């Protein structure tokens, strides 16, 4: 196949650009049928409407019918919602996104992200104690203790905690000035008042949606 001369290619290019920019280039004239729908068209439209409404209803059935927790990690907000109604709007702290190398293994790291997706409240605790994981010692440059009792720290998670799996909790904080910022190791921190309200509203099984 012979190659097109440059000037001809340029004309095609310009023509294509003009055609794609002109607002009227997409308009299709209405046909008489679209102006005067026949009885058959009406039946067809009704059946399409019925299908659309059925599908809409089916989709709405996936929505939680009980209150659910919604966490916006970008803006550090936690909401308790009932359908689309906001029941609680709380400033939170979520994962910092910082990484920490695991000692002795340069290829393995901890990533301090709050997990995204859908979870369920798996446990409700009062006066929780913090059993410090390895990273809490490593990031401070300390040796990881062998005795489990040396990992226990009291009074740092507030009065309540809601566990949602893999060691992640919604809990309180001593560092309330950091609320609204991405500073945690993946857990979700709230102030005491909001934490109590969320604790009272949530049940084991309450959905937690995190994005």
Partner 1 sequence: MSLCAILLFLLSFTSPSRAADVEAFPDLSLNDPSALREASRVLEEELKLAARPQTYVLIDLVTRTIRIKGRGIEFHHIPIVAWSARSQRNMTGIYRLIARPSIVRRKIDPPATVEQEPISLADMPVDYALSFTPLLTIDVVPAAGNNPLQWIVSSGKRWWQNLKNWGDALLTDQPAAQDAHLQLAVSAEHAQSLAWSLVDGMSFVIRRPTDE
Catalytic sites, residue numbers: 171, 187
Binding mask 16-35 for partner 1 (x = CB under 8 A): ----------x-x-------
All residues at 6 or more sequence positions from 57 whose CB lies less than 8 Å from its CB, including other chains: none
Q: Supply 156's token pair.
A: 């740092």
Using CB under 8 A, pick the residue from 43, 52, 127, 165 that binds partner 1.
52
Reference 185, options 114, 104, 128; nearest CA is: 114
Residue 86 as a binder of partner 1 (CB under 8 A): the answer is no
CB of 126 to partner 1, least distance (A): 27
All residues at 6 or more sequence positions from 197 whose CB lies less than 8 Å from its CB, including other chains: 80, 88, 90
All residues at 6 or more sequence positions from 120 whose CB lies less than 8 Å from its CB, including other chains: 164, 165, 204, 205, 206, 207, 208
Residue 102 as a binder of partner 1 (CB under 8 A): the answer is no
Residue 166 as a binder of partner 1 (CB under 8 A): the answer is no
Reference 94, options 191, 208, 188, 195; nearest CA is: 188
CB of 22 to partner 1, least distance (A): 13
CB of 138 to partner 1, least distance (A): 6
Strand-pairing partners, residue 82, are: 85
Binding site for partner 1 (CB under 8 A): 1, 3-4, 9, 13, 26, 28, 41, 44-45, 48-49, 51-53, 55-60, 62-64, 70, 72-75, 84, 96-101, 111, 116-119, 138-141, 181-183, 207, 209, 211
């Amino acid at each position: 196949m012979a190659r097109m001369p440059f000037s001809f290619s340029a004309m095609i290019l310009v023509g294509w650009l003009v055609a794609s920019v002109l607002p009227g280039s997409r308009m299709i004239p209405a046909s008489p049928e679209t102006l005067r729908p026949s009885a058959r068209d009406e039946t067809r439209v009704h059946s399409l409407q019925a299908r659309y409404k059925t599908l809409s209803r089916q989709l709405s059935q996936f929505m939680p019918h009980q209150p659910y927790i919604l966490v916006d990690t970008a803006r550090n907000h936690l909401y308790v919602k009932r359908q689309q109604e906001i029941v609680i709007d709380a400033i939170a702290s979520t994962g910092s996104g910082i990484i920490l190398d695991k000692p002795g293994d340069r290829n393995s790291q901890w990533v301090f992200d709050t997990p995204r997706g859908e979870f369920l409240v798996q446990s409700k605790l009062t006066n929780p104690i913090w059993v410090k994981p390895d990273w809490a010692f490593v990031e401070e440059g300390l040796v990881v203790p062998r005795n489990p009792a040396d990992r226990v720290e009291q009074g740092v998670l507030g009065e309540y905690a809601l566990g949602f799996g893999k060691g992640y909790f919604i809990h309180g904080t001593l560092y309330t000035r950091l609320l609204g910022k991405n500073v945690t190791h993946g857990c979700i921190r709230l102030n005491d008042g909001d934490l109590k309200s969320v604790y009272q509203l949530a049940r084991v099984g309450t959905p937690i949606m995190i994005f």
